[in-house]
Amino acid sequence: SQQGEEDPQALSIQEGENATMNCSYKTSINNLQWYRQNSGRGLVHLILIRSNEREKHSGRLRVTLDTSKKSSSLLITASRAADTASYFCATRGGGFKTIFGAGTRLFVKA
Amino acid sequence: DTGVSQDPRHKITKRGQNVTFRCDPISEHNRLYWYRQTLGQGPEFLTYFQNEAQLEKSRLLSDRFSAERPKGSFSTLEIQRTEQGDSAMYLCASSTTGDTGELFFGEGSRLTVL
């Protein structure tokens, strides 16, 4: 079963615009991760935020975490056509099982 | 380090046949995970190993599914008496025992059951 729910399910923007994706989860977590998947390929880890962190940056990526609301957001700034992919949040609780959400499909138009 | 490799990349089989997928993790990674992904959905957890021990198995995994990691290196996922509902991408991932749990995925094995 999947713990996270991403919102929106799909997002279409113009190159250069910012893309924001949200993730909500249900149980307490140790950390939250975001992954990217190009069509028909495996997933690639983007960024991890621990439960005691509120915000993290990596290049054009900014992740926030609100544990009181059990939610996270991923912001991609100055998007490029190459950012077109599916983006998944994944949560890890006290064990070592990582649970993925259903994903947001991002389409960046050149 | 060649990353996580999975074989075969594509498998077409008839209903009722058995299939086996292989995953070779990154060599220094001692955790190995199997996920199943259907079109438009996120990966669903199936099972994971630490070294050769299978530590958790999803209730989604019926008795027709079995996974092994006999020497703590490569792993196999076998599906017996395949059904059309088994058609999916089967993803393998590995990680170190560090507490962050970042997963490194293979390219997946796509199964089509006719």
- Determine the distance in angstroms separating the CA of B85 from the nearest CA of chain A, rounded to an integer: 16
- B4 close to A (CB below 8 A): yes
Residues of A in contact with B110 (CB under 8 A): 40
Query: What would the pLDDT profile of B55-90 be if each residue is shown by its tens digit?
Result: 988 887 888 999 999 988 999 999 999 999 999 999
CB nearest A92 (choices: B35, B56, B101): B101
With beta carbons less than 8 A apart as the criterion, state whether A58 and A47 touch: yes
The reply to whether residue B104 touches residue A45, judged by beta carbons under 8 angstroms, is yes
- A60 close to B (CB below 8 A): no
Q: Evaluate if residue B99 carries a pLDDT over 70.
A: no
Q: In whole numbers, what is the pLDDT of chain A averaged over residues?
A: 92
Query: What would the pLDDT profile of A75-98 be if each residue is shown by its tens digit?
Result: 999 999 999 999 999 998 767 788
- What secondary structure letter does DSSP report for A87? E
Token pair 């509120």 is at which residue?
A: A54
Please name which of B101, B107, B108 lies closest in space to residue B31, comparing C-alpha atoms.
B101
The reply to whether residue A102 touches residue B48, judged by beta carbons under 8 angstroms, is no
